[in-house]
Amino acid sequence: MPPRSPYDNLVHPRTVKKPSPQVEAQRDLVVEDPSSGFVGAVVRCEKAVVHLEDRFGKVRAYPLGPGFWVDGRPVVLVRPRPQAPVAPTRSASGSTYVAGARARVAREGRIYVEGKHDAELVEKVWGHDLRIEGVVVEPLHGVDDLPGIVRDFRPASGRRLGVLVDHLVTGSKESRIAAQVTGDHALVVGHPFIDIWQAVKPSVVGIRAWPVVPKGESWKDGVCRRLGWEDDTGYVWAQRILARVRTWTDLEPALIGRVEELIDFVTTD
């Protein structure tokens, strides 16, 4: 028998089986089960089970581990690692998001808006900014109440009052009242829309344009009838309109500019 050589145990590299790489079962990853030929995208991963859905909508569950192919190569499917939440860098209004900031003590200045829906929309888009600046927004239940509110509020330096009015157009009753109360420490601005609903871009709520409703007919009710929406305008506002607003880009510029103007006005000491 010939003596053993230190080279006797050498193995050709192609005969060494490399372990299959681990791949996280992230949603929408396309995976093949070669034993059955089933190909599907990951729709969810629960504990030790992955669920795959094929192009026909059929879902199958498999235990995580080896035995799968991805991009024609064998892999070991593993649970996705939890992702650390990413802090937003911009608020809904487009301003810099201040993470972890506590709301500032409310200023003496106030912003009034004409109606509950207006207040809810301003809060949704500018709420972060208002809390940072310490500005409180309150609903105005009719522009006819404005002179009394201004008189009771007594605007002054460090105690400014800003008001947002619907459908503020030249020659209207609203414009006359606005001119009457506007001064050094009180500012009334308005948007041209009949109702705050119109300040939301039509495309955001899935329509081509806001319907034209004849004068004398309830505008909100008329819109709902013409669009085939529910006759509960509160539900329509909350679910069909406000729920679809995400950021300032969903709103018309004529509203955005006025709200920004009021925030700047009441926060100027």
pLDDT of 158 above 70:
yes
Please say whether the beta carbons of 130 and 123 come within 8 A. yes
Which of these, 159, 121, 93, 123, lies nearest to 241 by C-alpha position? Answer: 121
Q: Above 90 in pLDDT, residue 75?
A: yes
- The dihedral over CA atoms of 97, 251, 130, 178, expressed in degrees to the nearest 10, equals 150
First-to-last CA distance in the chain? 102
**Rounded Cα–Cα distance for residues 80 and 46 (Å):** 10
- Max Cα distance, the chain (Å): 117
Give the predicted TM-score (pTM) of the model. 0.64
Question: 25 and 51 in contact (C-beta within 8 Å)?
Answer: no
Is beta strand 30-33 parallel, antiparallel or unpaired with respect to 22-24?
Answer: unpaired
Token pair 């006025």 is found at: 258
Q: Would you say residue 250 has pLDDT above 80? A: yes
Question: For residue 156, what are the β-bridge partners?
Answer: 159
CA dihedral 239, 244, 245, 251 (to 10 degrees): -100
Question: CB neighbours (10 Å) of residue 209?
Answer: 8
pLDDT of 76 higher than 80: yes
CA distances from 233 to 122, 212, 238 (A): 19, 17, 9
pLDDT of residue 197 exceeding 80, the answer is yes
What is the DSSP pairing of strand 110-113 with strand 136-139?
Answer: parallel
Instruction: Examine the pLDDT at 254 and tell me if it is beyond 90.
Output: yes
Check the CA dihedral 113-119-124-128 and report its sign.
Answer: positive
Sign of CA dihedral 250, 89, 134, 105: positive
CA 186 – CA 188 distance, rounded (Å): 7
Q: Across the strands, what pairs with 200?
A: 251
Instruction: Provide CB contacts within 8 A for 202, sequence distance 6+.
Output: 208, 209, 210
Asked if 160 and 266 count as a contact pair (C-beta separation under 8 A), the reply is yes
Does domain 110-200+245-266 correspond to CATH entry 3.10.20? no
The most confident of 3-17, 73-87, 122-136, by mean pLDDT:
122-136
Share of the chain above pLDDT 90, in %: 52
Tell me, what's the pLDDT at 174?
80
pLDDT band at 141 (very low <50, low <70, confident <90, very high): confident
